[in-house]
Amino acid sequence: MKKVLMLTTGGTIASKRTNEGLEPLLAGEELLRYLGEIAGQYQINVRELLNLDSSNIQAEEWQKIARAVAEEIDRYDGVIITHGTDTMAYTASMLSFMLQGLKKPVILTGSQVPIDHMLTDARNNLCTALAAIDSGIEGVAVAFNHKVITGCRAVKVRTMGFEAFESVNAPCLGEVYANGMHLHRRTDIPPERQNQPFRLLDSLCPDVFLLKMIPSTNPDIFDMFLKMHYRGIVLEAFGVGGMHFVRRDLFSRLKMLTERNISVVVCSQCLYEPSDLSLYEVGNRMLSCGVIPGLDMTTEAAVTKMMWALGQTKEPEQVRKIFSANYAGEITLQPEEA
């Protein structure tokens, strides 16, 4: 019988309707009761960590969750973390970086509808998480709508649909069919990462800003980053990587940031496929300003990796080095880059 730890943090899965809307009110043991006889097939212990709408889960909560996993992981075959869907992808990405060398499954799941509702998806999602533990999937993952997604590749793409999460720029780790869990062989973790011992690296810096570029962005916004003492910026650029310099010159301000030792990562606004700053003049101008290419990382992975990297080092060159490495399958590197 598999021994499973369930860490509860709140979210829709544990919510009940109140006069002010849905609020996470159900205790962890109550969630287990909705699994019925299935819960009896496992030895499940519940630890209630938080009771929050996931909009309120931030850097401090990520550290609390990571530390709880690190404290308990040796005693269990796997960990399930129940979590609200709105920021689940951010939490899954951050845990992927904090929990280095993880050899056991740490599975985040939740639901679009509370578990006590007749149309809930919570029970299926919890069962998918248990199936992921049965399958021995290693590392942090998101279990949702019969799919298991690498934690740092999961993106929430729907607000109401049960297919709320997709695996972006990487195949799912596994999918549930009528004949069981079908696993997909992982090729995204380099051998040196696979063989490292487990370590908790939970230092982070939340002084990171995400800016989505739009036509006519005012260059003065970059001055604000300096005044507010941000240490890292993630830019969502146009297409494969571009922003304007005619009339409103963003490049001189961008170079000002990097010269002031602020790390800047450039990703694409497009959900799928990688950015390539070498393809167009505008991208090469960005490279000359000292930015770090985000390649095919999701926005959630880029933001959390920046926070995590800045928690490991204050040196911009070391941040660049961290972004040039693949830690948890968050980035696709060409052979000459790996």
List the catalytic residues: 12
Whose tokens are 């909560």? That residue is: 61
Find the helix or strand (DSSP H, E) in which 33 lies.
helix 28-33
The dihedrals phi and psi of 172, each to the nearest 5 degrees, come to -60, 155
Sign, Cα dihedral of 176, 73, 325, 83: positive
CA distance 335 to 287: 21
The dihedrals phi and psi of 319, each to the nearest 5 degrees, come to -60, -45
CA distance 65 to 27: 17
CA distance 206 to 132: 31
What lies within 8 Å, CB to CB, of 95 at 6+ separation is: 62, 65, 66, 69, 106, 108, 140, 151
Cα–Cα separations (whole angstroms), residue 314 to 172, 200, 253, 326: 34, 19, 21, 20
DSSP 40-53: GGSEEEEEEEEEE-
What torsion, rounded to 10 degrees, do the Cα atoms 292, 297, 298, 299 define? -10
The dihedrals phi and psi of 162, each to the nearest 5 degrees, come to -70, -25
The pairing of beta strand 78-82 with beta strand 99-100: unpaired
